[in-house]
Amino acid sequence: MKRIPRLITGLKITQIKQFHKGPVAFRQKAKILICYLYFISHITSAQVPNQKLEQRFPFDSTQKWQFRFNGLGFVRNNEYFGPIADGYTLFGYQLNPRVAYQPAPNVVLEAGVFFKKDFGQDRITQLAPTFTVKFQHRNWNYLFGTLEGSVGHRLIEPLYNFERLLQQRIENGLQINHQTDRTFFDFWISYLQNTLPGYTRQEHFWGGISAEQRFGNPNQEWVLSIPVQITAFHAGGQNINSPLPVRTALNATASLSLTWQNPKSGFLRSARLDTYTVGYTENADKPYSGGAFYPNLTVNLKPVTVLLSYWNGNGYRAELGGDLYQSYTRRYNSTYREQHRRLLMVRFLKDIKITDGLGVTVRFEPHYDLANNLFEHSEGVYVWFSR
């Protein structure tokens, strides 16, 4: 177990050095990662609270048959002008009507259709069937089919881009999750893209573990917690006609987090400090590695939640991570690379409940790009409905 902490230092989080030691070093890090996964598998909270936007498949002991419906209306505007991320607007809605059948108290089957409509287009952007089998045993949930995915994994944004909720929300595969007052645990494997012999495209797998263990009574004034998140992305396939290299990329983060809750009602409700260290390593045509230091301070005030963040990254990349955190550009028709990326970020967040199952989330997210001396911002309004 003494080798476990070397995962974070090996991925270089604070000083973040580049190291290229070949496939052997990559396999050694993968073994350490597996040990680390086993260590935390019984012990997360994302830096941005997205719980209102999650979609779960609940059990209901009162009815065998149910009609369920989830909807999300969204508008998000990115005013980005730097060399890393494109600026654009996402505007539209998602609908997911479903029929649920519960043959036993601990088993539920759901089948439905997912619709996505982007405004400005004449036709439906996405139309896909959804199907989930969920089984519960001793507070552990086992899912097959459409997952409780996307922001439901509660990953930090450098590991998972919030905009995938608006663009590629549906995930299909296998999942195990567990949640109590002190513990959050989520393990999943999703199959993003398939292939067969002779195809020109690769298959894409993405999975990971997101976990957080809280210590002490969750209702006490001070609470210490340890969030750990690890994701893996694989692109490959056998007997396919693709010129792209086989790739396996690992991203990991961990933090010591301290939460203070005001025992009295007042203007300041609570505060939380997260000290995330983030690592990245990849084995493709040649090895890559990088990392970052990512502290967050979340202050819950009576009218609004304010989140202050600092990103100090070096050679960082995450296949499904947020655009702003990458050292490799995601701008259209660009090959720009920014080895050392530094951002100061502030977010203003507000969840407004209208009635049971219906609410609005409003966000304003400015940031300052220290390397490029740029002030950029994004803002969004999200109308969510669940019944």
pLDDT band at residue 4 using 50, 70 and 90 as cut-offs: very low
CB 89 within 8 A of CB 379: no
Please check the confidence at residue 374 and state whether its pLDDT lies above 80.
yes
Q: Does 368 score more than 60 pLDDT?
A: yes
pLDDT band at 265 (very low <50, low <70, confident <90, very high): confident
Domain assignment of residue 45, yes or no: yes
Any domain includes 75 = yes
CATH code, domain carrying 353: 2.40.160.10
Which range has the worst mean pLDDT, 210-214, 216-220, 368-372?
216-220
Sign of CA dihedral 65, 70, 117, 173: negative
Examine the pLDDT at 29 and tell me if it is beyond 80: no
Closest CA to 215 of 226, 230, 231: 226
SS3 2: coil
Q: Is 60 within the bounds of a domain?
A: no
- Identify the residue with better confidence: 93 or 9: 93
Helix, strand, coil percent values for the chain (each to nearest 5): 10, 55, 35
- Please say if the pLDDT value at position 276 is more than 70: yes
pLDDT at site 13: 37
Predicted local distance difference test score (pLDDT) of residue 65? 95
What distance in Å separates the CA atoms of residue 1 and residue 155, rounded to the nearest whole number?
A: 25
pLDDT at 3: 38
Predicted structure pTM score:
0.86
> Average pLDDT, whole number, for the chain?
88
Is residue 2's pLDDT more than 90? no
Residues linked to residue 47 through DSSP beta bridges, in sequence order: none
Asked whether residue 58 is domain-assigned, the answer is no
Are 138 and 299 within 8 A, CB to CB?
no
Per-residue pLDDT tens over the stretch 96-141 = 999 999 999 999 999 999 999 999 999 999 999 999 999 999 889 9
Residue 110 lies in a domain: yes
Answer yes or no: is pLDDT of 345 > 50.
yes
Residue 127's Cβ-count burial label (10 Å; 0-12, 13-18, 19+) is exposed
Per the structure, the complete domain to which residue 199 belongs is given by: 6-53+65-386
Has residue 181 got a pLDDT over 90?
A: no
Residue 59 lies in a domain: no
Largest CA distance in the chain: 65
Evaluate if residue 16 carries a pLDDT over 50: no
Counting the structural domains of the chain, the total is 1
**Residue owning tokens 């296949």:** 319
